[in-house]
Amino acid sequence: MKQVFGLLMFSLLLFSCGKSSVLGTSDDGEIVGKYKTLVAVDNFLYAVNHTELVTFDMTDKENPVEIDKKDVGVDIENLYHVDRALFIGSQTNLHIYQIAENGIPTKKSDTPYIRFGEEITTCDPVIAEQDVAYVTLTSSFWNRVNGCPTLVTINELRAYDVQDLENPQLKGVYQLSNPMGLSIDGDYLFVSDGDAGVAIFEVDHEGFATLINEIPNVPTYDLSAQNNKLLVVSEDEIRQYDYSDINDIKLFSSLSLR
Amino acid sequence: MNRLNRLSRLLFFCTSLTMVSLYTSCLPDDSWQQLGLAPIYASPNNFDLIQSVEPRESVDQGAFMEIYPYIYINDRFTGIHVFDNSDPANPSKIYFWEIPGNTEFTISGDFLYADNSRHLLTINVSDPANIFVVSAVEDIYTPNMENNNFPLNYSGRFECADFDKGIVVDWEEKLLDSPRCFIP
């Protein structure tokens, strides 16, 4: 009986993983979704597969040449760049690297999301602005409550102070429904909250965020915000909104992907 | 013998027969045939497969990028949908870039860097209607759970995906020989 239970639990964890992402915006006007694993920075291209960070020299844009490969961890899910720092979100950890002059990343820190004794399958994008990294965690894990195995779920947005890349400090935790992709524009942080819609926070750039508005009940997976335009992508459609008035967000258009 | 005895013997016989047949169907050298899904492979080294075609329905939406005036959205393991978003009040799908095995990409200048489940391809997209591969860095990506190893929205037997046969680009129904893989 115990073995069957264990097997069931294992398969649940194996198939339950959704995603994770890291946020930021690049300099040349491109807006990226948060489940990216390939990022171009100046003359370098960074790629993550499930366990490694690979660096390519792109001096010749038509011929990337591999110049470095590092083992990062396991279950890597996304890669984000801001200000020559690479934030890598995995199922269990936030890995931070700094890009040297020669383009080779050096490891700065490795912060686990989990606390000792818990087993979590987390699927978490991480994004960052200058000093703060934002991560969404959607995880289910089995824990013992009064001796009985209980499925515990976490659906939260976390903000880490990363002024010191070697010592990320957890500053805030905010409960949501099913948070996934996220995007930041100035003082506003937009979070895809699954079918619950879009949650909009005002941030103080030191790790604190206040929920100020939402676009309820629209399906969301990932989104991008720039120049007062929010693009929301879900399985069935893409929607675009005008947030020039953050208190009165208007729908520009919606287009079916099917 | 009395009726109860005969019945119980019959029951015992049927049960044993069932158990023996169940057992023998698990033996490695047993073979059978049944209808199920089989992978359709494409060669990861055939770059002629990468082309820009008419827009199509999205099946399995993945990562995206927005570089004015376009929006690019990955369709996992098949390619990238390209949208004209010059007027955000009126976006439209304009091309589909076929890239068998693709799940990751980034665009920088005239080039699209994209995987095909195996290699990292550099694709010239300066003309979105006519894209072509200019180079490839081989074997950056290795097989894993994400590699389209099983058919979506399906339960039943299927032929296990074989990494050495190529990239799985789709699934088709056919008569399978002793399919070992199964989705309950």
Mind telling me how many Å the CA of B132 is from chain A's nearest CA? Answer: 11
Q: What confidence tier does A11 reach under pLDDT thresholds 50, 70, 90?
A: very low
Work out the average pLDDT over B59-66. 91
Question: How far, in Å, CA of B44 to CA of B170, rounded?
Answer: 14
- Mean pLDDT computed over every residue of chain B: 86
Chain A environment of B114 (Cβ under 8 Å): 38
Which tokens sit at A123?
A: 């699927």
Q: What confidence tier does B121 reach under pLDDT thresholds 50, 70, 90?
A: very high
Side-chain-side CA neighbours of B101 within 13 Å: the count stands at 27
Q: Which amino acid is at A226?
A: Q
Please state, as a whole number, how many other Cβ atoms lie within 10 Å of the Cβ of residue A86.
27
For B140-150, how does the pLDDT look when each residue is reduced to its tens digit (9 = 90+)? Answer: 887 655 556 78
The SS3 call for residue A196 is: helix
Report the Cα A89 to chain-centroid distance in Å. 6
Query: To probe the interface with B, which of A15, A16, A17, A49 has the most B CB atoms within 10 Å?
Result: A49
For A189-230, how does the pLDDT look when each residue is reduced to its tens digit (9 = 90+)? Answer: 999 999 999 999 999 998 899 999 999 999 999 999 999 999
Q: Which amino acid is at A10?
A: F
Concatenating the DSSP letter of every residue in A110-173 gives EEESSPTT---EE---EEE-SSEEEEEEEEEEEEEETTEEEEEEEEEEEEEE-SSTTS-EEEEE
Chain B environment of A234 (Cβ under 8 Å): 61
Question: How far, in Å, CA of A36 to CA of A31, rounded?
Answer: 11
- Find out whether B59 and B136 touch, Cβ atoms under 8 Å: no
Q: Which long-range contacts (CB under 8 A, 24 or more apart) does B1-10 make?
A: none
The continuous run of DSSP H or E covering A9 comes out as helix A2-16
Please state, as a whole number, how many other Cβ atoms lie within 10 Å of the Cβ of residue A161.
18
What local confidence, expressed as pLDDT, does residue A164 receive?
93
Phi, psi of A52 (to 5 degrees): -120, 155
- Mean pLDDT computed over every residue of chain A: 82
What local confidence, expressed as pLDDT, does residue A230 receive?
97
The SS3 call for residue B25 is: coil
For A170-194, how does the pLDDT look when each residue is reduced to its tens digit (9 = 90+)? Answer: 898 899 998 888 999 999 999 999 9
What local confidence, expressed as pLDDT, does residue B119 receive?
93
Work out the average pLDDT over A22-27. 35
Pick A36 or A56 by higher pLDDT. Answer: A56
The structure's pTM equals 0.80
| Closest residue to A36, CB basis, from B58, B106, B135 | B106
Q: Number of A:B CB contacts under 8 A?
A: 113
Chain A environment of B110 (Cβ under 8 Å): 61
Question: How far, in Å, CA of B54 to CA of B14, rounded?
Answer: 59
Phi-psi region for residue B29, left (φ > 0), alpha (ψ -120 to 50) or beta?
alpha
What is the ipTM score, two decimals? 0.81
Q: Cis omega before residue B91 (within 30°)?
A: no
Question: How far, in Å, CA of B53 to CA of A49, rounded?
Answer: 28
For B159-182, how does the pLDDT look when each residue is reduced to its tens digit (9 = 90+)? Answer: 998 888 888 888 999 999 998 898
For B8-25, how does the pLDDT look when each residue is reduced to its tens digit (9 = 90+)? Answer: 665 655 555 555 555 444
Pick A16 or A145 by higher pLDDT. Answer: A145
Which tokens sit at B163?
A: 């990494």
What local confidence, expressed as pLDDT, does residue B49 receive?
95
The SS3 call for residue A228 is: coil
What local confidence, expressed as pLDDT, does residue B141 receive?
81
What local confidence, expressed as pLDDT, does residue B7 receive?
62
Question: How far, in Å, CA of A122 to CA of B184, rounded?
Answer: 24
Whether A3 has a pLDDT exceeding 50, the answer reads no
From chain A, which residues contact B within 8 Å (Cβ)? Answer: 14, 29-33, 35-40, 45, 47, 49-50, 54, 56, 58, 61-66, 221-222, 224, 226, 229, 231, 233-235, 238, 240, 252-253, 255, 257-258
Question: How far, in Å, CA of B146 to CA of B144, rounded?
Answer: 5
Question: How far, in Å, CA of A57 to CA of A66, rounded?
Answer: 6
Residues 6+ apart with CB under 8 A from A162: A85, A96, A128, A131, A132, A133, A168
